[in-house]
Structure 1
């Protein structure tokens, strides 16, 4: 008996396709029905099939929409109120061994980096503050801007100014951060420095030395390739000269704390080593790419 291929309810094209496939499969199997075809039953079975497919499609679209929404939230969270990233991208500049480097910031502030020093700064400062990060030694001429205080981060120590010029020294391995003010005012921790004053603090910000009147101009002679040491430890002097000459300088342990007062202007490294050795009553021994300063100890 021929099967009836019509049902009273109408569905979309997908339903028609499924009905067609149903009858073709039945005819191919050679199965004949002994009774009347139950169209209502077939309709419900096919409808459940379609509903299951629709649920799976809906779940896929819902998952995709959820992921898109999550990505949108993350994007907005990372953006500032003006559509810019809330964490400003930082530019890094470094002065190589034996070299100095001048950098001008977007607010007009000028930074000179001493040999072996690094500066990190944003391309554009925030609306309410200006912050830079320095490792090593730098001289800064900060543009006046009362609405945006200027801060220099050296490790855990923060030096704050409004508009001034000052020198700051904070190389890795230094025991102290040293600030010398040429013009204006600078705050180092709870200590306020004015023109011609110098202070040093530990890496946690405790001020340990304060000089009220010094020749502040000497602190930035390195900009003209001249170095001046007034009562500096030999270990400090050796580290400074390493950055200028690119050679290792190793004073004996008993000489490391000897104080040095001397100045050098682009002299050959052999001559500088000879002077240092003489100042500590020792001698300088040269190897392939290093110098060793030996002696029995300071004899002052």
Structure 2
């Protein structure tokens, strides 16, 4: 406020000095500079220029500060949006024929991996969600964490849980994903499962079948190295036995569609093949390292 008053005073003084000079010149009829206060005019002009220069400097400093703040903010925002996400190492576990593995995750969850299966998982889970990728079959005991849902990816199917125990099986030859719940709740796509319920989905997720009153022991018996089948097609049984024993089984029509029930826990592979052939009214023969089962088929 004082600076504005000083500038106004200098402007008024300059105006008075100039007016007085021209008035005197008009009265005398000559343009004489004898009575002209040149020093005063010069000082007024100098003061005026200095004041304006101060305003320009102050404005320039303020503008520069504003630009600097804006620039720093823009850089920080750009770095935030372009910063690379923190790299998290992915680990992988694969089981061979007849082998079962147990995997402990960073969040305290546990995975039991069936024979002939592969699971990929991060060394540490990021905020927001916990994701793992499964090929084959696994049983999960998931630690509860409401802020980080647990997601199991099996092809195009995603199983979504918060904290529960369940079994997931996906085999290429079956072309489907089977999810069975033992405790808690599990979401498969838009469908929710509760204990002893099972959902079987095509790998593209287009078709879903539901089953209830599932026997948990039948589904998870493999964890205790049990080989139990109840009302399974010979095709399904053969695929499971191939993974467990590390063998190749060839089924010749029409036996592949036969439905069988059997308990092969602890049995050597030769005995298993003999019993399996009898169950379908057929015979087994070993050729070139593979087991061939032939027969007339079943009435079921």
- Normalised to the residue count of structure 2, the TM-score between the two structures is 0.71
- Bigger radius of gyration among the two: 2
Q: Equivalents in 1 of 2:116, 2:273: separation in Å?
A: 20
Q: Equivalents in 1 of 2:225, 2:288: separation in Å?
A: 25
* C-alpha contact 2:218 2:229 (8 A) present in aligned 1: no
Q: Equivalents in 2 of 1:283, 1:214: separation in Å?
A: 32
1:116-173 Cα shifts (integer Å, max 9, x gaps):
0000001111200000000000000001001000010001111111100001100222
Q: Using the TM superposition, name which of 163-172 and 259-268 deviates more.
A: 259-268
Q: Equivalents in 2 of 1:77, 1:91: separation in Å?
A: 27
Aligned partner of 2:73 in structure 1 is none
* C-alpha contact 1:199 1:207 (8 A) present in aligned 2: no
Aligned partner of 2:145 in structure 1 is 145
Aligned partner of 2:97 in structure 1 is 97
Aligned partner of 1:196 in structure 2 is 196
* C-alpha contact 1:144 1:162 (8 A) present in aligned 2: yes
**Runs of at least 5 residues in structure 2 that lack an aligned partner in the other structure:** 1-77
Aligned partner of 2:186 in structure 1 is 186
Matches within 5 A, 1:99-248: 99-248=99-248
Q: Equivalents in 2 of 1:141, 1:207: separation in Å?
A: 27
For these two proteins, the number of residue pairs brought into alignment is: 222
Q: Equivalents in 2 of 1:275, 1:286: separation in Å?
A: 14
Aligned partner of 1:79 in structure 2 is 84
Aligned partner of 1:47 in structure 2 is none
Q: Hey, which of these two has a bigger chunk of helix by percent?
A: 2
* C-alpha contact 2:102 2:112 (8 A) present in aligned 1: yes
Q: Equivalents in 2 of 1:112, 1:210: separation in Å?
A: 24
Moved over 3 A (4+): none
1:246-286 Cα shifts (integer Å, max 9, x gaps):
11111113222211211211201111111111111111112
Q: Tell me by how many angstroms 1:78 deviates.
A: 6.4
- Normalised to the residue count of structure 1, the TM-score between the two structures is 0.71
**Runs of at least 5 residues in structure 1 that lack an aligned partner in the other structure:** 1-72
Q: Equivalents in 2 of 1:109, 1:102: separation in Å?
A: 11
